[in-house]
Amino acid sequence: MKQKLKTLGYAGISIFLCLSLIRFPDQALEAAIRGLNMWWEVVFPSLLPFFITAELLLAFGVVKFLGVLFEPIMRPLFNIPGAGSFGWIMGMASGYPTGAKIAARLREEKQVTQIEAERLVSFTNNSSPLFIFGAISAGFFYNIKLGLLLAICHYSANTIVGVIMRFHGKKQEQHLTKKKRYSFSLKRAFQEMHRNRLKNTRPFGEILGDAVLNSIQTLVMVGGFIILFSVLIKLLFLMDITPIIAAFIEPVLPIFEMPKELGLPFISGLFEITVGSNLISQVTTDSLLQKAILISFILGFNGLSIQAQVASILAKTDIRFYPYFLARLLHGTIAVILTILLYKPLYLDRIVINSNEIPAATIQDSSIWMNTYYFLQNIGPSITILSLAAAIFIIIYKIKKT
């Protein structure tokens, strides 16, 4: 019976989506183009170098090297092997879904157990500094100083989630043989790296080609989800479904001293972070804190679009999705608490209020993240075209070789 209900549910959703596309073809096309532009200009060129680098570092044993060095830190703090430090660092630098990609690769190479991989995924999928400072702070709010508050709350909450999730799966690990804990050793780290590289018998050209191809395949999948959810959010709004959901949220917002107008933008943010953050920035509120609270939560929650990307990456492994989902709720909640506590020392105390308006930086303010954001928008399409052409060339070469 349960499977029959699932079949009906999946069929119903597919039919609804199909009928909605037929009913609103122009608006769906506009939303798809908007999602494609986001992927084309910023997401693909910003994530591709990190994905390729991660593949190369894994192939050449550098992750093994880092794993041995960071074992004394990662094991007592997060209860994962030192190799998890690579996913943590890369996740913070490049943003989602890099953490899930690296965790899946580490699991495939047996460098982490299933439980350890689930712990790793729970706190390595966070927003990148480029998105927080460039897109949200400068692009939506025209306020660079807000980025510092959001970033500190976001990454601090993520670290706290990692510490809490160290207890995940404790009972399941009781029957496993406890691994010996090693102290810091540069010599042993190099030996492990050398041993791992020797196991990989592929020539350098093949390693590089596989790294490029695997990275591009993942990013094409990410682009598909971005376009799909961009269209889905638009269709839900046109079909008056999003406003209906928002109607249940709006009566609750005044309890937290927030205007009802934030209900619809907040629901949109739960689906897709970029759309929700932009809508939240356009609402007039008595205090910027109200907006910062909601944005901190949806950044920690990741949005259903990002969660779908992560679920797709994890589906190829035995890593379960539900610990990651629970960690997202926890991350959003902790980020909100930190935003309330740190709003005054990290934001209000750093600005001079000359009027009743919230002071905002201009878009021309010097910021490495904003400059990078605009740089990617200018050359991003060129990088995307060249990368896709390289992937096609590698595929053709592999076919001819076989």
Is the model more confident about 30 or about 3? 30
Asked whether the beta carbons of 360 and 141 are under 8 A apart, the reply is yes
Examine the pLDDT at 112 and tell me if it is beyond 70. yes
Asked whether the beta carbons of 99 and 118 are under 8 A apart, the reply is no
Examine the pLDDT at 153 and tell me if it is beyond 90. yes
d(CA 201, CA 95): 31
* pLDDT, position 357: 43
Share of the chain above pLDDT 90, in %: 20
pTM metric for this prediction = 0.83
* Mean of per-residue pLDDT scores for the chain: 84
Query: Which pLDDT band holds residue 178 (cuts at 50, 70, 90)?
Result: low
DSSP assigned state of 319: -
Q: What is the DSSP string of 250-310?
A: TTTGGGGT--GGGHHHHHHHHH-HHHHHHHHHTS--S-HHHHHHHHHHHHHH-HHHHHHHH
Asked whether the beta carbons of 260 and 284 are under 8 A apart, the reply is no
139 Cβ partners below 8 Å, 6+ apart? 363, 370, 373
Q: Which of 370, 296, 375 has its CA nearest to residue 134?
A: 370
Please give the C-alpha separations between residue 232 and each of 56, 268, 318, in angstroms, as whole numbers: 36, 11, 29
Examine the pLDDT at 50 and tell me if it is beyond 60. yes
d(CA 83, CA 112): 8
User: 221-280, pLDDT tens digit by residue?
Assistant: 888 888 888 888 888 888 888 888 888 888 888 888 888 888 888 998 898 888 888 889
Please give the C-alpha separations between residue 126 and each of 94, 153, 229, in angstroms, as whole numbers: 9, 12, 19
Is the model more confident about 134 or about 122? 122
d(CA 101, CA 99): 5
* pLDDT, position 182: 60
* pLDDT, position 183: 65
Examine the pLDDT at 151 and tell me if it is beyond 90. yes
Examine the pLDDT at 351 and tell me if it is beyond 50. yes
DSSP assigned state of 356: S
Asked whether the beta carbons of 360 and 147 are under 8 A apart, the reply is no
Q: Which of 371, 303, 379 has its CA nearest to residue 133?
A: 371
Q: Before 97, cis peptide (omega within 30)? A: yes
d(CA 130, CA 377): 12
Examine the pLDDT at 365 and tell me if it is beyond 70. no
